[in-house]
């Protein structure tokens, strides 16, 4: 392409980065990010999303957070998809407190969580036996107009049966039951 005098644009580079990430060539993708930046090509939201997703998928959270912070320093505003990707990856790896910090940051950055974000975070808390925090977040989720999905509800039922404080938590159950229950 370049040999013929045509310079790649960000769309071409994003396709390259996406392919590298999907094939597990993350170090190569990061190397290409530096090349792209050095060539002065304007990086877009999709570029950061591709890299963050690729890094999170393989458990490279620190590198993903570095790119996330770099993106923010360059003036990009992360959307709910990027935040949720990071939160999901952290929860799946058992780093629920770091995921909670990211959720707080998300809210501060005026990028409100959606139903997927809430459900992922609540399930992460329940897996770590953080029942009370999960209940409070589920209540916040409900107040924000979202409902627990079937997987989250199933985990709550299990928690209510096994947690010594289950009877206390059951009093809160109507506050985070799905909206259409009882209609």
Q: Are 138 and 173 in contact (CB under 8 A)?
A: no
Whether the per-residue pLDDT at 180 is higher than 60: the answer is: no
Question: What's residue 1's pLDDT?
Answer: 55
**40 DSSP 8-state letter:** T
pLDDT value of position 122? 95
pLDDT of residue 22: 95
pTM, full prediction: 0.85
pLDDT digits (tens, 9 = 90+) for 122-167: 999 999 999 999 999 998 998 898 988 989 989 988 988 898 988 8
What's the confidence (pLDDT) of residue 182?
47
pLDDT digits (tens, 9 = 90+) for 10-57: 999 999 999 999 999 999 999 999 999 999 999 998 999 999 999 999
- How many contiguous H segments (helices) and E segments (strands) does the chain have? 11, 0
Q: Coil, helix or strand for 183?
A: coil
- Average pLDDT (113-119) is 96
The values of phi and psi at residue 125, to 5°, are -65, -40
Local confidence band at 5 (pLDDT 50, 70, 90 cut-offs): low
Judge whether residue 97 has pLDDT over 90. yes
Residue 153 · residue 142 · CB < 8 Å: no
pLDDT at 103 over 50: yes
Residues 138, 122: contact at Cβ < 8 Å? yes
Quote the longest CA-to-CA distance of the chain. Answer: 71
SS3 per residue for 149-167: CHHHHHHHHHHHHHCCCHH
d(CA 126, CA 138): 11
Q: Is the pLDDT of residue 177 over 80?
A: no
Q: Cα angle vertex 50, ends 118, 128, to 5°?
A: 30
């Amino acid at each position: 392409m370049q040999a013929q005098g045509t310079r790649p644009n960000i769309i071409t580079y994003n396709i390259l980065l996406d392919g590298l990430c999907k094939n597990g060539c993350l170090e190569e993708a990061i190397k290409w990010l530096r090349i792209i930046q050095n060539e002065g090509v304007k990086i877009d939201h999709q570029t950061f999303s591709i890299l963050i997703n690729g890094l999170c998928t393989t458990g490279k959270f620190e590198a993903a957070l570095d790119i996330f912070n770099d993106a923010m320093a360059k003036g990009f505003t992360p959307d709910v998809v990027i935040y949720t990707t990071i939160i999901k990856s952290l929860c799946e790896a058992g780093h629920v407190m770091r995921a909670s910090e990211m959720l707080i940051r998300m809210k501060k950055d005026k990028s409100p969580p959606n139903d997927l974000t809430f459900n992922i975070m609540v399930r992460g808390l329940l897996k770590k036996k953080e029942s009370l925090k999960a209940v409070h977040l589920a209540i916040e989720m409900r107040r924000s107009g979202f409902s627990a999905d079937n997987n989250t509800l199933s985990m709550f039922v299990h928690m209510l049966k096994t947690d010594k404080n289950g009877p206390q938590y059951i009093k809160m159950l109507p506050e985070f039951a799905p909206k259409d229950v009882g209609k």
